[in-house]
Amino acid sequence: MSGRVAVVVTRRAATQLERAASWWRENRPAAPDAVANDFEDALRLLAFQPELGARSASPHYPDLRRLFLARIRYHVYYQALPDKVVILAFWHASRQSPSL
């Protein structure tokens, strides 16, 4: 892929993101917007470099990748398609991988 592609966030991933961001705002007063900011940065990166993340095995999504957001310790699970990136899950690194 070259150039910028669209990035689409599924409802499931958006719900996971909102829960994480809400918890973070309440429990991390030194950086209350870190989850939202880091996720937005990840979306900008993936729009230009969809193949950036590591491959992750899933029988339902052969092109599944994940991008680790080190500061907040979350993974962005996504599928890199020819014309877009689809964000499938937003998952904390300490939890078992999501079932996709």
pLDDT, mean of residues 79-99? 85
Instruction: Give residue 95's pLDDT.
Output: 67
- E runs forming strands in 1-100: 6-9, 54-55, 64-69, 74-80, 84-92
Least confident window among 30-39, 56-65, 67-76 = 56-65
User: What average pLDDT does range 67-92 have in this prediction?
Assistant: 94
Written as one letter, the residue type at 69 is L
CATH topology of domain 6-92: YaeB-like fold (3.30.2310)
Burial track 30-65 (b if 16+ CB lie within 10 A, e otherwise): eeeebbbebbeebbebbeebbeebeebebeeeeebb
Could you read off the pLDDT of 17-53 as tens digits, one per residue? Answer: 999 999 999 999 999 999 999 999 999 999 999 999 9
Res 60: pLDDT: 79
Q: Please check the confidence at residue 98 and state whether its pLDDT lies above 80.
A: no
